[in-house]
Amino acid sequence: MNKKLTCIECPRGCVLSVDAENGKLVRLEGYECPKGEKYAIAEIENPTRILTSTVLTEGLFLKMIPVRTSDPIPKSDIKKAMSEIIKIRIKRSIRTGDVIIKDFLGSGADLIATRDCSV
Amino acid sequence: MAAAIAAHESGVKDILLLERDQYLGGILNQCIHTGFGIEYFKEVLTGPEYAQRFIKEIKKIPDIEISLKSFVVDLTRDKTLTFIKPGILEKVKARVLIMATGCREKTREMIHIAGTRPSGVFSAGLAQKLINIEGLLPGKRVVIAGSGDIGLIMARRFMLEGAEVRAVIEIEKKTRGLLRNVVQCIEDFEIPMYFNHRISKINGKDRVESVTAVKVDDDLNDIPGTDVRFDCDTVLISVGLIPENELIEMAGVQIDKKTNSPVSHELNKTSIPGLFVCGNSFKVYDIVDSVSLDSEIAGRLAAEYLRKKI
Ligand code: SF4
């Protein structure tokens, strides 16, 4: 099956032409760097995304702390991830990169803060 | 921040940075999605993380004084700035000035949508601020007018927060935003996109109740009989940015009325010597990495200007 994908790894947005058989990538054209190749394989075999969102704080200077997954997580987990994120409350000072939930949903990726915030 | 750091690196010793918000970083703070920094830091960062890198750097430099909650209200040709800060009104005369005032969003008024004036019409960036900074969801059923990057990113943000995005309506043949945003924000969530369409009317009494869209021909004229109606409670306007340059205009800098950017033959320079403009207020960039690089040039130009004057 031939498919056109747009690589989302960088703003260039290369159009990748891929052939897949039985859920495996067999031919790839149009990528301009190794990241594009990795993206195409993941997109065919197990599409993943970095999830970004915000979590509510209690008693901190900012009302919301932005967060993200440290690595891409399976697209199919995103709904579940959001329903977990909604439940979190941050009550302590936090620094960019601090882990909020380790091994988030068993994905191997951590949920990390992306902004500093003190009390 | 990039301009201030670069000016300092080029030998400027006494720098004042005025920020109107209560924290540094500007619009990056509400751009919580990834995609920043690939060029500049060779890493994929979110907006706040990207800003944080500069904040960390700038706080190490005692020669740069940072003044938050400082809103500049007046600027004159001799580079005298008047700014208000909670409780005080201050005046400061600069020998060289770099403006990094960024952009504001184009509004509903600029694209002429007929209809009533109910609540529920937001610029995409305002909705972004409400969700990401204030933690408030502005609506449950959303239609987005225009396919600028902020609109696409907000489509995903609304979907993630459990709202429903009914349609993205773009008057042109193709998206104005980056392709990657179409893929990961629109296609991932199966949001319908209508090209060659425009919102012709916003309906509703107190709150938005629906919008009417109509197909347009190649000359952007409405094609009669092609009306489609979308029930919704919220409309986001995402039709591009316009440089914010009212202060330098006040000071007498020549402004191109079409683009609202300074008339200039050279990057970052204006018709007033020693008054520089950098980043999105000079011209609208697609990515923040270019803004930082451009701003560093402005910082170095400012330093060079000071050296020549002495
Ligand atoms: S293939 Fe490489 S250069 Fe092309 S969009 Fe992907 S990451 Fe960017």
DSSP A75: G
Residues of A in contact with B131 (CB under 8 A): 54
Whichever domain contains B158, its CATH number is 3.50.50.60
Residue that is last in its domain, among B219, B237, B255: B237
Structure confidence at residue B68 (pLDDT): 97
Note down pLDDT in tens along chain B; length 310 residues. 999 999 999 999 999 999 999 999 999 999 999 999 999 999 999 999 999 999 999 999 999 999 999 999 999 999 999 999 999 999 999 999 999 999 999 877 777 788 888 999 999 999 999 999 999 999 999 999 999 899 999 999 999 999 999 999 999 999 888 888 999 999 999 999 999 999 999 999 999 999 999 999 999 999 999 999 999 999 999 988 999 999 999 999 999 998 999 998 889 999 999 999 999 999 999 889 999 999 999 999 999 999 987 6
Instruction: Search chain B and give the residue with CA nearest A77.
Output: B160
- Ligand 1 centroid from CA B63, angstroms: 40
Question: Within this chain, do residues B80 and B191 fall inside the same structural domain, yes or no?
Answer: no
Structure confidence at residue B179 (pLDDT): 87
Question: Within this chain, do residues B89 and B148 fall inside the same structural domain, yes or no?
Answer: no
User: Which segments of chain B does DSSP mark as H helices, in order?
Assistant: 2-9, 47-59, 108-111, 124-132, 149-160, 179-181, 246-251, 288-309
Residue B152 domain boundaries:
107-237
What does the alpha-carbon distance between residue A27 and residue B303 come to, in Å, rounded to a whole number? 53
Exposed / middle / buried, residue A76 (Cβ in 10 Å: 0-12, 13-18, 19+): exposed
Residue that is last in its domain, among B214, B237, B260: B237
For an interface test with A, which of B22, B23, B32 has the most A Cβ atoms less than 10 Å from its Cβ? B32
Contact B136, B122 (CB under 8 A): no
Contacts of B33 (CB under 8 A, 6+ apart): A52, B46, B47, B153, B156, B157
Question: Within this chain, do residues B68 and B128 fall inside the same structural domain, yes or no?
Answer: no
User: Could you give the number of structural domains in chain B?
Assistant: 2
Structure confidence at residue B188 (pLDDT): 94
Q: Where in chain A is the domain with CATH 3.10.530.10?
A: 52-113
Residue that is last in its domain, among B237, B272, B291: B237
Residue bearing the CA closest to ligand 1, atom 8: A10
Question: Within this chain, do residues B232 and B255 fall inside the same structural domain, yes or no?
Answer: no
Please identify, in words, the CATH class of the domain defined by A52-113.
alpha beta
Structure confidence at residue B310 (pLDDT): 63
Question: Within this chain, do residues B180 and B259 fall inside the same structural domain, yes or no?
Answer: no
| Structure token digits, residue B76 | 């004159």
- Fold held by A2-46: N-terminal domain of TfIIb (2.20.25)
Structure confidence at residue B114 (pLDDT): 83
What does the alpha-carbon distance between residue B270 and residue B263 come to, in Å, rounded to a whole number? 7
Low-confidence ranges of chain A (pLDDT < 50): none
Partner residue facing B184 (CB), from A8, A11, A54: A8
Question: Within this chain, do residues B198 and B118 fall inside the same structural domain, yes or no?
Answer: yes
Question: Within this chain, do residues B122 and B232 fall inside the same structural domain, yes or no?
Answer: yes
Question: Within this chain, do residues B138 and B79 fall inside the same structural domain, yes or no?
Answer: no
